[in-house]
Amino acid sequence: LQQLSSFGQRFCADSGTFTLMDDLGKALTVNPDMLFLGGGNPARIEAVEYEIKLALEAILAAPDGIQKMYGNYQSPQGDPEFLEALASYFQRHCGWPVTSANIALANGSQAAFFVLFNMFAGDFEDGSRKQVLLPMAPEYIGYSSSGLCDEFFCSVKPQIEILPGNQFKYHVDFDQLPLSDPGASQGIGAVCLSRPTNPTGNVISDDELARLSALACARQVPLIIDAAYGLPFPGILFSDAGAPWDDNTVYMLSLSKIGLPGVRTGIVVANPEVIAAYTKANTALNLACSSAGPALAKHWLQNDHINTISRQMVQPYYAQASRTAIELITNACADLPVKIHAPQGAIFLWLWCQDLPISSQELYQRLKTRGVLVLSGHHFFIGLEDSGWPHAQQCLRITYCQPRPVLEQAVAILADELTQVYG
Ligand code: PLP
């Protein structure tokens, strides 16, 4: 295309996210039998599919069901009944002092991140430029292509704690955090982290979160908590954690990982000023949000059934899948210098192949030719100044949303390839 604007050049170019998705898609087209441990799709959980079917049947049986699900544009902030149901749910189950004025919807949380990031970071009227701080690399790759200007994100290397049983865990390095330094924090417009983290499955501790929140408050920048996999729903956590919210926190939720990525429903919880501003931008971009997700999930919130789905169907499924994947990898890689990040939530395992003689991208390519699709970890080290950090070239993300036989085959090939690579 000729004569693309700078917006066109930025957003119509091959972003990291696009290249990755394209590569995964093509690999599957070339070899449909590929052992697919690459994507972020939630697993098919029979019990959840049955709940969706029941909800759809109830909608079809109601005289105005179709109209409510598909026939109306929602109001700019989202279906008022759904917002009320959410506010009441958050009050009952999270103790958050919110009303519907604190909540707005999005066509998937990805779309909300685009608006929120660019509301708080980028170019300012006074000529200054601010960044979104990701307090700990690696972080969700989906953020990386959402900025309207260059160097939109900055992030900090984590501290690495070695744990027993071939595991390790990342912690926020508060000493290196620009927020800890009043001068450096001038250039920060917002702080964002996913909890649990995609790609690592890390859940930063309540203490770490409280420290981040206090720093963000002191610097008067919002703290955005991406709870796509987290609390209160879908609650894919394998350890205890709180879900604090206050006026300076923007909580991002989604119906995707409970099993409904196709309805494209994201939920923003923030103070009313942020919600009002977000709603105007969202209207300019989308006019209205999808009403399918709200129609499906409204009753699950009103009668708390969403807790049953999250805690009795979704969480146990992934907890079991995570245990299976760890057992398989631990056994297959017993003689290899491979460590697994402490699995605390989400739907992935993050492997650290210590002193890997080739890059993780080369390993990804070699595995692809052997019919196993994973993700190379280097994609997730967004905004890191030290781009030569060897650790960033030594990690893989694998999803365990596949049946055990697929995982078994894939892990056997992974271990065999690694054995060859390490010689
Ligand atoms: N946040 C994280 C951490 C994710 O992994 C994803 C999707 O994979 C999203 C946000 C976006 O989710 P959605 O736009 O489907 O709500």
Are 168 and 294 within one domain? yes
Residue 387 pLDDT > 80, yes or no? no
CATH value at residue 381: 3.90.1150.10
For residue 179, is it within any domain? yes
Position of tokens 């119906």? 255
Closest CA to ligand 1's atom 6: 228
The DSSP H or E segment spanning 325 is helix 315-332
Closest CA to ligand 1's atom 2: 228
> So what's the pLDDT on residue 217?
96
Query: Which of 269, 289, 304 is the endpoint of a domain?
Result: 304
Name the pLDDT band for 139 (thresholds 50, 70, 90): very high
Name the pLDDT band for 2 (thresholds 50, 70, 90): confident
Are 287 and 348 within one domain? no
Query: Which of 304, 328, 358 is the endpoint of a domain?
Result: 304
Residue 206 pLDDT > 90, yes or no? yes
For residue 53, is it within any domain? no
Positive or negative, the Cα torsion across 340, 342, 346, 347?
positive
- Ligand 1 atom closest to the CA of 261, numbered from 1: 15
Are 317 and 230 within one domain? no
> So what's the pLDDT on residue 228?
98
Give every CB contact of residue 364 below 8 A, 6+ residues apart in sequence. 374, 375, 376, 396
Highest mean pLDDT among 11-25, 61-75, 97-111: 97-111
Residue 12 pLDDT > 90, yes or no? no
Residue 347 pLDDT > 80, yes or no? yes
* Ligand 1 centroid – CA 187 distance (Å): 26
CB of 197 sitting under 6 A from ligand 1: no
Whole-number percent of the chain with pLDDT over 90: 87
Are 243 and 105 within one domain? yes
> So what's the pLDDT on residue 354?
97
Residue 122 pLDDT > 90, yes or no? yes
Best residue for ligand 1 mutational test, from 203, 253, 254 (most atoms within 8 Å of Cβ): 254
For residue 11, is it within any domain? yes
User: Is the pLDDT higher at 18 or at 3?
Assistant: 3
- Maximum distance among all Cα pairs of the chain, rounded to whole angstroms: 67
Are 157 and 269 within one domain? yes
Are 117 and 261 within one domain? yes
CATH value at residue 90: 3.40.640.10
Residue 187 pLDDT > 90, yes or no? yes
* Ligand 1 centroid – CA 141 distance (Å): 10
Cis peptide upstream of residue 42 (ω within 30 degrees of 0): no
Are 348 and 395 within one domain? yes
For residue 355, is it within any domain? yes
Residue type, 260: L
Q: How far apart are CA 327 and CA 329, in angstroms?
A: 6
Beta bridge partners of 103: 269
Contact present, 212 and 244 (Cβ < 8 Å): no
* Ligand 1 centroid – CA 421 distance (Å): 33
Instruction: Count the Cβ atoms, other than its own, within 10 Å of residue 11.
Output: 15
Best residue for ligand 1 mutational test, from 256, 282, 401 (most atoms within 8 Å of Cβ): 256
- Ligand 1 atom closest to the CA of 197, numbered from 1: 3
Query: Which of 304, 321, 355 is the endpoint of a domain?
Result: 304
Are 86 and 211 within one domain? yes
Are 41 and 14 within one domain? yes
Closest CA to ligand 1's atom 3: 198
The DSSP H or E segment spanning 192 is strand 188-194
Give the mean pLDDT of the chain: 95
For residue 135, is it within any domain? yes
* Ligand 1 centroid – CA 126 distance (Å): 33
> So what's the pLDDT on residue 181?
86
Best residue for ligand 1 mutational test, from 17, 20, 24, 109 (most atoms within 8 Å of Cβ): 109
> So what's the pLDDT on residue 27?
78
Q: How far apart are CA 132 and CA 383, in angstroms?
A: 9
Highest mean pLDDT among 12-16, 73-77, 155-159, 401-405: 155-159
217-239: average pLDDT: 97
Instruction: Count the Cβ atoms, other than its own, within 10 Å of residue 88.
Output: 15
351-373: average pLDDT: 96
Structure-derived torsion over alpha carbons of residues 254, 258, 263, 269, reported in degrees to the nearest 10: -20
For residue 163, is it within any domain? yes
For residue 165, is it within any domain? yes
Name the pLDDT band for 413 (thresholds 50, 70, 90): very high
* Ligand 1 centroid – CA 222 distance (Å): 19
Contact present, 132 and 147 (Cβ < 8 Å): yes
> So what's the pLDDT on residue 386?
80
Give me the domain span that covers residue 320.
6-47+309-417
Are 181 and 206 within one domain? yes
Number of domains observed in the structure of the chain = 2
Contact present, 168 and 160 (Cβ < 8 Å): yes
Residue type, 221: V
CB of 376 sitting under 6 A from ligand 1: no
Are 90 and 214 within one domain? yes
> So what's the pLDDT on residue 1?
76
For residue 60, is it within any domain? no
CB of 194 sitting under 6 A from ligand 1: yes
* Ligand 1 centroid – CA 134 distance (Å): 16
Angstrom CA distances, 249 to 56, 138, 245, 406, stand at 34, 21, 6, 40
Residue 17 pLDDT > 80, yes or no? no
303-315: average pLDDT: 97
Q: How far apart are CA 71 and CA 77, in angstroms?
A: 17
Encoded tokens for 205: 């501790």
CB of 213 sitting under 6 A from ligand 1: no
CB of 142 sitting under 6 A from ligand 1: yes
79-102: average pLDDT: 97
* Ligand 1 centroid – CA 97 distance (Å): 25
Closest CA to ligand 1's atom 5: 198
Name the pLDDT band for 410 (thresholds 50, 70, 90): very high
Q: How far is CA 65 from the centre of its chain?
A: 31
**Which of 13-22, 342-351, 405-414 shows the lowest mean pLDDT across its residues?**
13-22
Q: How far apart are CA 407 and CA 315, in angstroms?
A: 19
Are 87 and 30 within one domain? no
